[in-house]
Amino acid sequence: MSDDRAEKVNAQRTVASEQATPNWLSRLLWMGPRVAEAREATFGPGKPGFAWFDIARQLSDDVAEIGETGESNLAALLLDCDRVGLLVRAYLEREGLRSGVGPLGDTDWANTRKLPLLAEAFAKLTIPQRSMLTAILAPDRDATLAKLTGADRESLAGAVRGLATRLSEPLEFEANRLGRALVARWLRVIVAALVLAAFLATGGNWLDRKLEKPNIALHCPVTVSSQYPWQGTDHSLLVDGDRNNMGFHTQSGGQQWVVIDLGSVRKFNKLVAYNRSDGYQDRAVPIKLEVSKDNINFTLLRERKETFDQWTAGGLHAEGRYVRLLNTPPNFFHLAEVEIY
């Protein structure tokens, strides 16, 4: 696919995706126009003068790499002078004031006075500093450098470094316009996502509570096959809503069971059993779940053989008044809570 065609396809996709997003959301998230405006206003590749600015940026990195070896460091001074030259070119080219493609000439230097930002920045240099700088940026820089005294270099280095910084900062700001817009957009998207997640979490809990059927076993009478001394003596705790306290504890030997009386024949679809939380969980299995309408004839609904913390027996489609849980003898039998829905 040619670059032109790829660009058109991308543009169509962008338009399609922007059309698919509601207007208010698009505005809120800076999806379209704000970023497009920023892209348009950004001083970026392809814009007049950007190539010079980009090279000046790289030189700035080189200056940083040379390190803090003192302002009189000749290599850093030359790089800073070149940065100034490149930045002046960038400014002039942006304004259509560049006189040619070669080194900066008299017309270019004269044109710098037409741009207030450049005029102001250069005004901070003394006249000798200005003439040394223009001489270094002229083709015969070696001759100029040979004439510089140590004091000249030192005075020029600080002044040129300051000048390069003053010239590059505004361009840097304009070059980062799109980046700032994208950061702002993503911050907005992240905040919106967090708000949405918080809303869904709250809304989800609210919906769960609305849709949740009541636990019909809650506070129903409980009968147990036998009672172990001292532990699990209050059987109402099997259906008290607390999933950690022990609801009953039988003796060992023979078939042990627990029956919950729902009070009348009820339809239910799910039973959740919570094992005792302080150990001996293997005693609860294998466990059988049965239902009866008369407390005499029971029908097996489910059986579970694997040890569990929480056993959910769903899809029961059951009907009955007495719900019985039995484990396999000879064994103690104990559970913390049973819920029926």
**Among the listed residues 56, 118, 222, 237, the single contact to Ca ion using CB under 5 A:** 237
**C-beta of 54 vs 240, nearer to Ca ion:** 240
Instruction: Mention every residue, 6+ apart, whose C-beta is less than 8 A from residue 239.
Output: 217, 218, 219, 220, 222, 247, 260, 337, 338
Q: Two tokens at 187? A: 């911050």
**C-beta of 232 vs 247, nearer to Ca ion:** 247
Instruction: Mention every residue, 6+ apart, whose C-beta is less than 8 A from residue 256.
Output: 225, 226, 250, 326, 327, 329, 331, 332, 333
Residue 337 within binding range of Ca ion, rule CB under 5 A? yes
**C-beta of 59 vs 217, nearer to Ca ion:** 217
Give the torsion sign (CA, 22, 23, 29, 34). positive
The stretch among 6-14, 235-243, 276-284, 314-322 that binds Ca ion (CB under 5 A) is 235-243
- Within its chain, how far is the Cα of 136 from the centroid? 50
Q: Looking only at residues 238 through 277 of this chain, which bind Ca ion when binding is defined by CB under 5 A?
A: 240, 242, 245, 247
Q: Cα–Cα distance between 341 and 322 in angstroms, integer?
A: 14
Report which of 275, 231, 265 is spatially closest to residue 249, judged by C-alpha positions: 231
The stretch among 66-74, 135-143, 193-201, 332-340 that binds Ca ion (CB under 5 A) is 332-340
Q: Looking only at residues 152 through 181 of this chain, which bind Ca ion when binding is defined by CB under 5 A?
A: none
Residue 335 within binding range of Ca ion, rule CB under 5 A? no
Report which of 174, 149, 159, 153 is spatially closest to residue 90, judged by C-alpha positions: 174
The stretch among 78-86, 233-241, 287-295, 322-330 that binds Ca ion (CB under 5 A) is 233-241
Give min distance, CB of 219 to Ca ion, in A. 11
Q: What is the residue type of 226? A: S
Side-chain-side CA neighbours of residue 15 (13 Å): 6
Q: Binding residues for Ca ion, how many (CB under 5 A)?
A: 6
148: DSSP letter: -
Nearest residue to Ca ion, using CB? 337
Give min distance, CB of 272 to Ca ion, in A. 12
Residue 319 within binding range of Ca ion, rule CB under 5 A? no
Q: Two tokens at 6? A: 């790829």
Q: Two tokens at 259? A: 């029956």
Give min distance, CB of 192 to Ca ion, in A. 42
Give min distance, CB of 336 to Ca ion, in A. 5
Residue 220 within binding range of Ca ion, rule CB under 5 A? no
**C-beta of 97 vs 262, nearer to Ca ion:** 262
Give min distance, CB of 236 to Ca ion, in A. 9
The stretch among 167-175, 227-235, 237-245, 304-312 that binds Ca ion (CB under 5 A) is 237-245
Q: Two tokens at 43? A: 């001083």
96: DSSP letter: T
Name the residues that contact Ca ion, by CB under 5 A.
237, 240, 242, 245, 247, 337
